[in-house]
Amino acid sequence: MKYDQTFARFARRMIRQTAIAAGIFAMAGTMYWNWQVGAGVVAGGLFQILFLSFLLAKEQQWERQEKDPVFISQRLSLFAMCRLVLQILTCVAVVFTPLNIFGYLVGLLTLTLMTLVDRVVKLIKE
């Protein structure tokens, strides 16, 4: 069965763009405030990158196993919904570390920002 590669392309693009944005924000946070803010941004961006990589790996695994596309989309949606709970738990954990929680939240929001930028760029191209 031929699978749609929309999610795979989107995930790869967002991983790359999130890494770039997190790096830029981390450097700015470190230069303007301190290393704890920059490290928080890196940690938040890394969380998003690792989670997207996990979703991408699971999708590829299920495609190799020739699972039904509906099964794949339902499982990916389930994992994506669980991400909010994981983000909350990691925020609680970050409070007890030397990392800056606001920097961590900025790192978590880099994926959202890059998704919005990606959509705006697509609209402009159309």
Q: Which residues contact 14 (CB under 8 A, 6 or more apart)?
A: 52, 111, 114, 115, 118
At which residue do the structure tokens 């939240």 appear? 105
User: Quick check: 82 and 17 in contact, CB under 8 A?
Assistant: no
Q: Which residues contact 107 (CB under 8 A, 6 or more apart)?
A: 22, 25, 26, 40, 41, 42, 43, 44, 45, 46, 47, 48
Average per-residue pLDDT for the chain: 92
pLDDT band at 1 (very low <50, low <70, confident <90, very high): low
Model confidence over 8-65: pLDDT tens digits?
Answer: 899 999 999 999 999 999 999 999 999 999 999 999 999 999 999 999 999 999 999 9
Model confidence over 53-98: pLDDT tens digits?
Answer: 999 999 999 999 988 888 998 999 999 999 999 999 999 999 999 9
* Per-domain residue ranges of the chain: 10-125
The whole-number pLDDT of residue 110 equals 94
Tokens at residue 25, please? Answer: 């924000």
